[in-house]
Amino acid sequence: MSRISIHGEWSSRMAFIMAATGSAVGLGNIWKFPYMTGQYGGGAFVITYLLCIAILCLPVMMAEVMLGKRGRSSPINTMRHLAQENNQSKLWRLLGWSGVIAGFLILSYYSVIAGWALAYIPSLASGTFTAVNTMSPTEITGFVDSVFKSLVENPVQLTAWHTGFIFITMLMVAGGVKGGLERAVTFMMPALFILLLVLVGYAISTPNFMQGFNFMFNINFNDLLYPNCTEAVCKFSGEGLLAAMGQAFFSLSLGMGAIMVYGAYLPKDASVSKVTTAVVVADTSVAILAGLIIFPIVFSNGLEPNAGVGLVFKTLPIAFGQMPFGTLFGTLFFVLLVLAALSSSISLIEPAVAWLVETGKFTRASASVVSGIIVWLIGLITVFSFNIWSDVKPLAGLNLFELINYLTSNIMLPLIGLLIAVFVGWLMQKSTIAEELNLSANSIGYHIWYFLLRYVTPLGVGIVFLNAIGVFS
Ligand code: PFF
């Protein structure tokens, strides 16, 4: 049985790769990966992240694309059709619902951070950061700090930028699969990549390039297992492992239906394993490049790698202030960062929009507006958690933004990923899977993938979860 998507189809396999890469590459690579690497001590975080990508996430990504390709609709309806087709409980549709909820929660804060990037465009374009050329190292650190602080501590400004970002997202999603999504991503991914290479060139010219490089690739597991530990003996903590796994799922846009819904628009004859591998390679390269740019700047300017969420916003402007044509490159970089965030944000909201359209009660435009308004409202929580609510810490000393971030990346995405692995690995018919993957069920590639998905992913994710709640300590 084969269904047809009512939302349209990508015009080619390449268009899917571009769109899925657009979804995967975003703030997660350029903002989140470097600051988390900084917080969890560098190399050990990077290697754990890479292992999670290769062993746990790649198989889940193939499974998600395959499910979408089979179901040809929003994740909620895809899970409903496929549960029926495989004689499984109707409850599997809840997986689609959890994805929609996770997407809304992620987008709610993603849009606020993308708003920071929007706000930095005029600052860079007007040459604000060229002032660093006449400053001493301590003055530079104080200056970039104050620019960042004056932005995030101002709720009115943050709300305005957040509103702007959600508004552009709604416009693009309303444009539909070919009109909005595909057109936007085909030019911005290559442009972003080229600019990152230019910046790596700059990073190599900084005095402390090797220190930055070593920070990223020298492996010291103590930093990961005992983050922020200053005692002689530290208690084993799985927090760093959980963070690395959560970041791997987040960066590849897994566990919330974004990749599933893009798979639903994939032409029937496309090879799932090839397109997925291409997306994973592109996403991972961008994260590593971002780290290679940021850490040399951190060490060359006496900044702290564990500066937290402001890391990128305090380091890159120094580079742009100092380098030739920095005003031009800096402006262009933040424009591209916003575009990369947009190509991710449209995928965060697409599962909900596709579902609303499938109910028959909404057009694409009205579905985008309704979803956008809900996300905008939830986003105010993040806006205020950087200023008027910064002292509200309901759980484990985390503020509201940190809680939403933790809940979605570290818990919801890997948990949904695990359930997807169980559904495909244990409950779906093998012949259907092989047909959708365009792979022979006897090939070596199929066997390796199936083994990883059936055993390694559920066990791996499960162990990291149990470890994080202290079962093994
Ligand atoms: N992968 C995106 C990033 O790294 O910025 C964020 C994201 C998009 C997460 C879509 C989840 C998702 F479904």
The model's pLDDT over 77-109, given as tens digits with 9 standing for 90+, comes to: 999 999 999 999 999 999 999 999 999 999 999
| pLDDT grade for 15, boundaries at 50, 70 and 90 | confident
Measure Cα distances from 330 to 125, 152, 268, 287, 460 in Å. 7, 20, 41, 18, 40
- The verdict on residue 2 lying in a domain is no
Give the distance, in angstroms, between the CA of residue 152 and the centroid of all CA atoms in the same chain: 21
Ligand 1: residue whose CA is nearest its atom 9: 253
∠ CA 65-67-69, nearest 5°, is: 65
Q: CA–CA separation, 215 vs 252, rounded Å?
A: 24
The answer to whether 252 and 259 have CB atoms below 8 angstroms apart is yes
In this prediction, residues 237-243 reach a mean pLDDT of: 86
Give distance in angstroms: CA of 316 to centre of ligand 1.
Answer: 22
Give distance in angstroms: CA of 249 to centre of ligand 1.
Answer: 8
For the cut 80, the answer to whether the pLDDT of residue 47 exceeds it is: yes
Q: Of 59-73, 176-190, 404-418, which range is least confident?
A: 176-190
Place of tokens 């006449």: 134
The total of other beta-carbon atoms located within 10 Å of residue 85's CB is 14
More confidently predicted of 303 and 148 = 148
pLDDT of 234 = 64
- The verdict on residue 248 lying in a domain is yes
- The verdict on residue 7 lying in a domain is no
Q: CA–CA separation, 95 vs 111, rounded Å?
A: 24
| pLDDT grade for 189, boundaries at 50, 70 and 90 | confident
**Burial category of 130 from C-beta neighbours within 10 Å (exposed 0-12, middle 13-18, buried 19 and up):** middle
Residues 6 or more apart whose Cβ sits within 8 Å of residue 472? 236, 238, 466
Residues 6 or more apart whose Cβ sits within 8 Å of residue 292? 200, 203, 212, 213, 216
pLDDT of 179 = 64
Give the count of alpha carbons within 13 A of 60, CB side only. Answer: 34
In this prediction, residues 273-301 reach a mean pLDDT of: 94
- Residue from 113, 185, 251, 253 whose mutation best tests the ligand 1 pocket (most atoms within 8 A of CB): 253
Q: Which of helix, strand or coil describes residue 398? A: strand
Tell me the percentage of the chain whose pLDDT exceeds 90. 67
Measure Cα distances from 220 to 49, 225, 290, 300, 357 in Å. 14, 9, 21, 22, 50
Place of tokens 């470890």: 467
- The verdict on residue 319 lying in a domain is yes
Nearest to 106 by CA among 264, 255, 260: 255
In this prediction, residues 303-309 reach a mean pLDDT of: 90
Place of tokens 């990966």: 33
User: E strands within 272-422?
Assistant: none
Phi–psi pair at 325, nearest 5 degrees: 60, 25
Pick the most confident of 3-7, 167-171, 382-386: 382-386
Give the count of alpha carbons within 13 A of 254, CB side only. Answer: 35
Ligand 1 and 251: CB distance under 6 A: yes
Measure Cα distances from 402 to 106, 267, 407 in Å. 11, 39, 8
Place of tokens 């390796």: 448
More confidently predicted of 348 and 469 = 348
For the whole model, what pTM was predicted? 0.94
For the cut 90, the answer to whether the pLDDT of residue 438 exceeds it is: no
Ligand 1 and 37: CB distance under 6 A: no
For the cut 60, the answer to whether the pLDDT of residue 1 exceeds it is: no
Give distance in angstroms: CA of 28 to centre of ligand 1.
Answer: 6
Phi–psi pair at 448, nearest 5 degrees: -65, -50
pLDDT of 473 = 65
Q: CA–CA separation, 252 vs 81, rounded Å?
A: 25
Average per-residue pLDDT in the chain?
Answer: 90
The answer to whether 229 and 452 have CB atoms below 8 angstroms apart is no
pLDDT of 92 = 94
Q: Which residues pair with 398 in a beta bridge?
A: 395
Range of the domain at 176: 13-468
pLDDT of 469 = 78
Alpha helices in 130-208 (DSSP H): 137-152, 155-174, 183-205
For the cut 80, the answer to whether the pLDDT of residue 186 exceeds it is: no
Give distance in angstroms: CA of 412 to centre of ligand 1.
Answer: 13
- CATH code: domain of residue 90: 1.10.4160
Q: CA–CA separation, 129 vs 321, rounded Å?
A: 5
User: E strands within 207-315?
Assistant: none
Nearest to 379 by CA among 28, 102, 106: 106
Gyration radius of the chain over CA positions: 22
- The verdict on residue 6 lying in a domain is no
The model's pLDDT over 195-239, given as tens digits with 9 standing for 90+, comes to: 899 999 999 999 999 999 999 999 887 777 777 676 666 666 788
Token readout for 215 is: 């920070």
Buried b (16+ CB within 10 A) or exposed e, 248-268: bbbbbbbbbbbbbbbbbbbee
pLDDT of 412 = 95
- The verdict on residue 379 lying in a domain is yes
- Residue from 25, 347, 416 whose mutation best tests the ligand 1 pocket (most atoms within 8 A of CB): 347
More confidently predicted of 301 and 362 = 362
Q: Which of helix, strand or coil describes residue 87? A: coil
pLDDT of 180 = 58
The answer to whether 215 and 44 have CB atoms below 8 angstroms apart is no
Token readout for 348 is: 């965060």
Ligand 1 and 75: CB distance under 6 A: no
pLDDT of 72 = 87
Count the helix, strand and coil residues of the chain and give each as a percent rounded to the nearest 5: 75, 0, 20
For the cut 80, the answer to whether the pLDDT of residue 120 exceeds it is: yes
Place of tokens 């060229």: 130
| pLDDT grade for 344, boundaries at 50, 70 and 90 | very high
Give the distance, in angstroms, between the CA of residue 429 and the centroid of all CA atoms in the same chain: 31
Which residue type sits at 116?
A: W
Nearest to 319 by CA among 130, 53, 126: 130
Give distance in angstroms: CA of 325 to centre of ligand 1.
Answer: 31
Ligand 1: residue whose CA is nearest its atom 10: 253
- The verdict on residue 112 lying in a domain is yes
Give the distance, in angstroms, between the CA of residue 330 and the centroid of all CA atoms in the same chain: 22
- The verdict on residue 366 lying in a domain is yes
As for how many domains the chain has, the answer is 1
